[in-house]
Amino acid sequence: MKRTTYRGVLAAALGTALLAGCGGSGDGGSADEDRTVTLVTHESFLVSDDVLDRFTEETGYEVRLIKSGDAGVAVNKAILSAGNPEGDVLFGVDNTMLSKALEADVFTPHRAEGLDRVPQEVRLDPEQHRVTPIDTGEVCVNYDRAYFADRGVEPPQTLRDLTDPAYKDLLVVQNPATSSPGLAFLLATVGAFGEAGWRDYWEDLKANGVLRTEGWEQAYNDHFSASAAGRDGDRPLVVSYASSPPAEVYYGTEDNPEQAPTGVATGTCFQQTEFAGLLDGAANPEGGKALLDFMLSPAFQEDIPLNMFVRPVREDAELPEVFTRYGAEVPEPHRVAPEKIDAHREQWIEQWSSLMR
């Protein structure tokens, strides 16, 4: 099924439909509960109905979705309810927040089938298998091609470009305390300018009129001027993904355009991998394990690109032509060592929050 808007515009409606069509009610007795698997996820999670139907046909389990806001919010809720979770599986914790969830003992180990088809570099818990890598992509600043072409201005390409007065009041970013893309972008600036220089960089961004939102949905669909959501956004620069341009083509009105209506500032990117895990204390752990196995199956993996517009982690998963044709190549994303993220993430977020008040 092809939706008519990008990623999260219909997320709430689709979540309701999936909840009613594929999820158990939870109050129909223990037999019904045993056949229902509850997946807790962020608001931008999407999967095709027929893929969930296939999971039910293969396993006998039906999927119930609970959407808990942006990824940062979902992870924080899971930590607060550790040992007594609201679902069986959590999807959406990424490499920027992973250690926080692992330290809180949110997950129970499970080595998912199909893991041998996943590159070693994205298996960030290779010994205990408390989480399973599901998708990967780069968080980058996207730009509205038409906006800059109409004004004869070159779009920015690097983080430093974004502080130029030519781009004053044009950029919208997400709060790293509540948004995984927001945190990834903060880490990109740490990777680029170092622990001694990133705050000065954000001072410059603030002086150049950067707008902050709580999550990706609000930033992209409400404020970005080139969003296919069709709202009246007035900011032609937004933190999103290197794979967002294919989404704009896929949901757009023009068939096979020469280029996507949005572009990617490839010098602004940070590598992101999303994981799923069996929640400790899950009511249906066997169903949760079956769902994790299915999320690494070719059927689920090949459904990811045209729903969530990130790349599947399976090396043998096929990508759609629109994805490979219009997606941006990011030769060198900014990086921060996992041990540095572990040691400083909360400090950096607090410093950012204080600075951006």
pLDDT tens string 108-134: 999 999 999 999 999 999 999 999 999
SS3 98: helix
Domain range for 182: 138-271+325-355
Same domain? For 194 and 336 the reply is yes
Mean pLDDT of all residues in 143-152 = 97
Point out which residues pair with 276 in neighbouring strands.
Answer: 91, 132
Kindly tell me if the per-residue pLDDT of 23 is higher than 50.
no
181 CB contacts (<8 Å, ≥6 apart)?
A: 139, 174, 216, 239, 240, 241, 272
Q: What is the pLDDT at residue 8?
A: 45
Same domain? For 264 and 317 the reply is no
d(CA 156, CA 266): 9
Asked if residue 281 belongs to a domain, the reply is yes
The encoded tokens of residue 18 equal: 């999936």
Q: Which of 197, 245, 200, 246 is nearest to 224 (CA)?
A: 245
Return the CATH number at 44: 3.40.190.10
Q: What is the pLDDT at residue 24?
A: 36
Same domain? For 305 and 234 the reply is no
Q: Give the pLDDT band (50/70/90) at residue 230.
A: low
Same domain? For 48 and 175 the reply is no
Asked if residue 107 belongs to a domain, the reply is yes
Kindly tell me if the per-residue pLDDT of 1 is higher than 80.
no
d(CA 72, CA 79): 11
Kindly tell me if the per-residue pLDDT of 30 is higher than 60.
no
Highest mean pLDDT among 62-71, 161-170, 340-349: 161-170
Length of the chain: 357
Same domain? For 344 and 331 the reply is yes
Asked if residue 6 belongs to a domain, the reply is no
Asked if residue 18 belongs to a domain, the reply is yes
Residue with tokens 């967002």: 244
Same domain? For 107 and 225 the reply is no
Same domain? For 343 and 282 the reply is no
Kindly tell me if the per-residue pLDDT of 329 is higher than 90.
no
SS3 277: strand
Same domain? For 303 and 251 the reply is no
Same domain? For 86 and 32 the reply is yes
d(CA 14, CA 312): 21
Kindly tell me if the per-residue pLDDT of 69 is higher than 90.
no
Looking at every residue in the chain, the average pLDDT score rounds to 89
Asked if residue 44 belongs to a domain, the reply is yes
Asked if residue 30 belongs to a domain, the reply is yes
Same domain? For 146 and 238 the reply is yes
Same domain? For 245 and 332 the reply is yes
Tell me the per-residue pLDDT of 270-285, one tens digit each, with 9 for 90 and over: 999 999 999 999 999 9
d(CA 219, CA 234): 11
Kindly tell me if the per-residue pLDDT of 26 is higher than 80.
no
> How many domains in the chain?
2
d(CA 301, CA 133): 11
Asked if residue 4 belongs to a domain, the reply is no
Same domain? For 88 and 112 the reply is yes
Asked if residue 2 belongs to a domain, the reply is no
What is the pTM (predicted TM-score) of this model?
0.78
- Alpha-helical segments (H) within the chain: 11-22, 30-34, 49-59, 71-80, 98-103, 145-151, 180-207, 216-217, 244-250, 285-295, 298-301, 305-308, 321-326, 338-355
